[in-house]
Amino acid sequence: MAGMLVDERDQKFVLFEQLEIDKLSDYELYSEFDKDVYLMVLSEAKKLAENEFMPLNSVGDTEGVVFKDGKVIMPESFHRLWALWNEGEWRGLDIPAEYGGQGMPTVLGMAANEFFEAANLAFQMSVAMPRGGALLIAQHGSDEQRAKYVDKILTGEWSSTMALTEAEAGSDVGATRTIAERNEDGTYSIKGAKVFITCGDMDLAKNIIHLALARVKGAPAGTKGLSLFLVPKYKINSDGSPGEPNDIKVVSVEKKLGLKASPTCQLSFGEENNCTGELIGRENQGMTIFFTMMNESRLIAARHGAGIASSAYIHALEYSRERLQGSQIGKESNRQSPIIKHPDIRRMLTMMKSYTEGVRALIYYSSYCIDRVHVADSKEEKQKWEKRLGFLTPVTKAYGTELSFRVTEAALQVYGGYGYTKDYPIEQFLRDEKVHSIFEGTNGIQALDLAGRKLSRDSNDLYTGLLKDITEFCTEYKEHSGLKAYISILDEAKKALAEASVFLLELQKKDFELFALYANQYLELFGDVIVGWLLLWQAVIAWEKLSSIAGDSNPDNAQLENFVTDNVEAAFYSGKLGAAKFFISNVVSLASAKAAIIRIADRSALQIAENAFVV
Ligand SMILES: Cc1cc2nc3c(=O)[nH]c(=O)nc-3n(C[C@H](O)[C@H](O)[C@H](O)COP(=O)(O)OP(=O)(O)OC[C@H]3O[C@@H](n4cnc5c(N)ncnc54)[C@H](O)[C@@H]3O)c2cc1C
């Protein structure tokens, strides 16, 4: 049985047949790993996720967290998951060995974590944050800070948070009001209030290290004046053990739509003027430090969303095979047929399949770019992958989470009325899914990052990098015997994206407000083209594999159909072809129209008077 979380065959296809990540072992950095090790990790992740994490997903959703006497109590069952997670050393899987991790490629870490997030995202939130925290301290802390914090966080003895958001500083991080005042002993007194802090308090770890942004008294306004502090829940004794409580109060825990077993806390620092923190890096470097983590943390947010979508899709598929309603079009029968036979359900399932597989490829490819940065042996090579990652990060975060939401929503639709009830897990999936377009920088902010920052700064790298690769791909396969019509649609879409890019760059200089209005459409167009490319690239591979299974270099469709009936591998590859064709025909084919919308640059959304929205 394939399992209800992740399409493992597709996962392996992207990792080993498309990206060929086993070749990363040719580089010194990853030379101690090989395909067998990667497969073993994925298999263990699957086992743990299915056997332990998945059964507790609805339990956590029902129990939620308890906020009592100023403390957060996690669902009792999560203590076991926390212990298993720590025993398995999963937090350090893709953290460099020099920092105490296992040093595996980022792309492998993404794939392994997909199982856990598909199984139980609320729990996973409690371990994803500390992983990022440990890495940040390892990369930017002093030797003393590394020794004091990293190992304890990596082993799960302690936890950590990312404490950026404030009531007046959400998307506008530069508006942060939390203040830090230098003390004579080199520490800082912290005073301020943070909101929406994931695991701002919880009882799974013995201490919590808040990575909090604050402004040192007298520092410049805006993001330039922000510094980053390590603010422990319990002050740390000279022997490294947790000591007296720091002056941090949990004011409240949000009552949320989803992720009910993940505490989202409002925290108050220094109400008694006794909250102490340590500076990490230098003063006013807070945002620069966070930016070094930004690519990875945004890809992880996309992965969270994709994990849920993956499981939602598989659940909907299973349901559609079992649920009997109506009769199949064109079949004379009094018997009800499984709903998978109905064209509209087939449409939704194929949409879900192509989006899920497209987003998986997008996330893995972007993570693979991180690994290529790590192994680059020249400045030019490093820059090439960094620039590519720069474009792909906001697209993966925003486009990926949008598509994942649509998959999860369609999965509920497949269940009909039952999907809307608590009898099935889909309604929880949909509630848990929504947040991904909001946190880690809203999707609107990602669009501004792509169009306003990346495109305006690095357009040349886009034309000579990603777009050039797509052009070369289209040129190489333009006469492909089975896919040429689809290659041609992708080629047109890529031209439309290039033209829209040139147009927006000009518009940005003339009318920034109008330009900002179309940033979102631009990101969508960008995502369509990149995912279209990744899926067609997969289709080319699938075609070759299918042909070789068929023992014929150019099999016709009828021959292929026969193979699919009794050959699992042939069925997989034919599914890959179907998903790519569907995505190109139904999504990428709209690219020219989307680009035209951008070029028309209609101003109505800006011109409509505010009091005219509802009179
Ligand atoms: C479950 C959950 C967990 C979270 N965990 C954490 C955490 O661990 N740590 C942490 O620091 N934060 C966390 N957050 C906070 C999250 O990062 C913020 O909610 C998010 O950054 C948006 O800020 P906001 O809610 O204030 O929305 P706002 O910034 O008020 O945005 C409202 C809307 O306006 C749009 N908007 C705002 N400014 C602009 C602009 N300049 N241009 C265009 N559109 C704009 C946004 O896109 C959005 O659609 C969490 C949030 C949630 C819901």
Q: What pLDDT, in 10s, does the model give residues 256-275?
A: 999 999 999 999 999 999 99
Contact between 64 and 75 under an 8 Å Cβ cutoff? The reply is yes
Confidence of residue 91 (pLDDT cuts 50, 70, 90): very high
Q: What is the pLDDT of residues 411-427, one digit of tens each?
A: 999 999 999 999 999 99
The answer, yes or no, to whether residue 96 has pLDDT greater than 90, is: yes
d(CA 462, CA 466): 6
Asked whether residue 546 is domain-assigned, the answer is: yes
**What pLDDT shows up at residue 553?**
60
The answer, yes or no, to whether residue 123 has pLDDT greater than 50, is: yes
Find out whether the beta carbon of 164 lies less than 6 Å from any atom of ligand 1: yes
Asked whether residue 571 is domain-assigned, the answer is: yes
Q: Which atom in ligand 1 lies closest to the alpha carbon of residue 162? A: 9
Name the strand (E) or helix (H) holding 301.
helix 286-322
Asked whether residue 452 is domain-assigned, the answer is: yes
Domain span holding position 457: 444-602
Find out whether the beta carbon of 442 lies less than 6 Å from any atom of ligand 1: yes
C-alpha 127 – ligand 1 centre gap (Å) = 21
Contact between 430 and 408 under an 8 Å Cβ cutoff? The reply is yes
**Beta bridge mates, 230:** 211, 278
Find out whether the beta carbon of 512 lies less than 6 Å from any atom of ligand 1: no
Asked whether residue 359 is domain-assigned, the answer is: no
Q: At what angle do helices 568-586 and 557-566 cross, to 10 degrees?
A: 130
Q: What is the pLDDT of residues 474-500, one digit of tens each?
A: 999 999 999 999 999 999 999 999 999
Average pLDDT over residues 220-240: 97
C-alpha 197 – ligand 1 centre gap (Å) = 12
Asked whether residue 549 is domain-assigned, the answer is: yes
Asked whether residue 557 is domain-assigned, the answer is: yes
Name 383's Cβ contacts closer than 8 Å, sequence gap at least 6.
none
**What pLDDT shows up at residue 552?**
65
C-alpha 55 – ligand 1 centre gap (Å) = 31
Asked whether residue 151 is domain-assigned, the answer is: no
**Joined tokens for residue 110:** 């993404």
The answer, yes or no, to whether residue 334 has pLDDT greater than 90, is: no
d(CA 264, CA 252): 9
**What pLDDT shows up at residue 87?**
96
Scored b (16 or more CB within 10 A) or e, 161-183 reads bbbbbbeebbeebeebebbbeee
d(CA 515, CA 373): 31
Mean pLDDT, rounded, of the chain: 96
**What pLDDT shows up at residue 560?**
72
Name the residue with the closest Cα to ligand 1, atom 37: 171
d(CA 306, CA 302): 6
Active-site choice (440, 499, 513, 524): 440
Find out whether the beta carbon of 168 lies less than 6 Å from any atom of ligand 1: no
Would you say the C-alpha torsion 123, 429, 393, 517 has a positive or negative sign? negative
C-alpha 31 – ligand 1 centre gap (Å) = 40
Asked whether residue 65 is domain-assigned, the answer is: no
Domain count, the chain: 1
Q: What is the pLDDT of residues 531-543, one digit of tens each?
A: 999 999 999 999 9
**Joined tokens for residue 125:** 């939130």
Nearest one of 435, 601, 433, 408 to 517, comparing CA atoms: 601
Name 173's Cβ contacts closer than 8 Å, sequence gap at least 6.
164, 213, 223, 226, 287
Percentage above 70 pLDDT, the chain: 99
Average pLDDT over residues 440-449: 97
Find out whether the beta carbon of 165 lies less than 6 Å from any atom of ligand 1: yes
C-alpha 582 – ligand 1 centre gap (Å) = 34
Top mutation candidate among 171, 300, 521 for ligand 1, by most atoms within 8 Å of CB: 171
C-alpha 170 – ligand 1 centre gap (Å) = 5
Name the residue with the closest Cα to ligand 1, atom 44: 444
Name the residue with the closest Cα to ligand 1, atom 31: 171
> Would residue 513 show up in a list of annotated catalytic residues for this protein?
no
The answer, yes or no, to whether residue 1 has pLDDT greater than 60, is: no
Average pLDDT over residues 154-169: 97
Contact between 280 and 230 under an 8 Å Cβ cutoff? The reply is yes
**Beta bridge mates, 160:** 209
The answer, yes or no, to whether residue 506 has pLDDT greater than 70, is: yes
Average pLDDT over residues 102-125: 97
Q: φ and ψ at 54, to 5 degrees? A: -60, -45
Q: What is the pLDDT of residues 44-76, one digit of tens each?
A: 999 999 999 999 999 999 999 999 999 999 999
